[in-house]
Amino acid sequence: MLLIATALAGGWTLDEVEHIEVSQDCGSLRVESWPAESLHLETEGMVTQNKGRVVVTPRGCGETRVRLPEGVELRAQTQSADVLVLGLEKASVGTISGDITVRATQDAQLSSVSGDIDLSVGGGTATLMTVSGDVRVKGPTTGLTVQTTTGTVVFNGRADGPVALTSHSGDLLVTLAPDAPVTVTATSSSGDVRLAPMEASDDASTLTLFTFSGDAVVETRSP
């Protein structure tokens, strides 16, 4: 087990670290922010540092744990490993079959082939892509883009920016906070599209809903 309790132990200062890269085949990856101005790694494998980046390559299928200041960007790629991210400002995560769970992240770029994505966005923007995995998003966002082939997409939160959801055969289910004008585009070839609730007199909101063979429903309520 390799343990680096502080960035200084590797011969470099934390100010020089712009992002951390993790490439893991299986097992699990947990990355979380903490108040200390140091980097804490628990893994079996290799760690290198070069020009503002720390590269972590775990060995085997154990759990990799990372703690770092919230301003350090995470870039992670896994095969079947599940990924949990807590409290970072920016995270980019891609998996083949692993599930991705992200909490309170300002800027998220997440993708999975067959794994599910569960995102609690912290007020920023997010771009999510899956092939067959389901996508769940909640919280306030200034911009959300989701693309999936067969997965179901569920968004529940406040949108202070454009929301664009696309699925080939999955359902698109959107529940919006009623106190902000929004621009929502939801497209599904054969799935259902449902948007709720919208104020009946909200002229500032722009809605574009399309489905080829499914139902498209907008639920409204009186202001």
Query: At residue 5, does pLDDT exceed 70?
Result: no
Indicate the average pLDDT of the chain.
84
Least confident window among 72-81, 113-122, 175-184: 175-184
Q: Which carries the bigger pLDDT value, residue 212 or residue 155? A: 155
Q: Which long-range contacts (CB under 8 A, 24 or more apart) does 187-194 make?
A: 187/211, 188/212, 188/214, 189/213, 190/214, 191/152, 191/167, 192/216, 192/217, 193/217, 194/218, 194/219
Q: Whole-model pTM?
A: 0.87
- Cis peptide upstream of residue 197 (ω within 30 degrees of 0): yes
Higher per-residue pLDDT: 83 or 11: 83
| pLDDT tens-digit series, residues 41-59 | 888 888 888 877 889 998 8
